[in-house]
Homo-oligomer: A and B are copies of this chain.
């Protein structure tokens, strides 16, 4: 049984954007500003470094009740006892995450186009859908769906959906109006001069819509 989780404001960490401040300090500020769930993502670092960062983040996040998911590396998620994992279409399938991490793990899957909808199986707890808007963070990102394309795909998904790709305070209302249950950001928080204020502004935009 997967515990309840809140996708409202979903932070994906970026190793380069958080390098100066440190990933733990960045996440601490972001959570103080209202981030509800964190995904640790580093496609280039070693497994050992990822595990060390993950353990430090768990020590911060677990007392706050904010779940930590590990991107791609199911072995690292298992080793550190993370709350779950997030996999993309080039990673191991969500069924493998369920097998390795057990029934209580939160398992997320990225969907970037309609032909991938069939990869959402019973192992998946939520979907990361995007990129919604054009984004410069991921060099190999798929084409932006736009609000119409996003909304059309979202209607075909019965699970909770977090939108990702180019999301800002300004377009958060349109993102939620397009059917997202939450907004996932990388640069909007990781690259912000003040990650806590950036998270607070996003959180405020979400609350304003939901009021």
Contact = CB atoms under 8 A, between A and B. Distances in A.
Contacts of A79: 92, 96, 100
A46 B93 CA distance: 12
Contact of A72 (B47, B78, B89): B47
A85 to B, nearest CB: 9
Q: What band does the interface of chain A fall in when counting residues whose beta carbon is under 8 Å from B?
A: 10 to 19
Interface in A80-98: 89-93, 96
Contact of A47 (B48, B78, B90): B90
A91 B45 CA distance: 10
Interface string A82-122: 00000001111100100010000000000000000000000
Each complex incorporates copies of this chain amounting to 2
Interface in A42-61: 46-49, 51
A154 interface: no
A39 to B, nearest CB: 16
Interface of A: 46-49, 51, 72-76, 78-79, 89-93, 96, 100
What 5 pairs across the A-B complex have the smallest Cβ distances? A46-B90, A74-B75, A75-B75, A79-B96, A47-B92
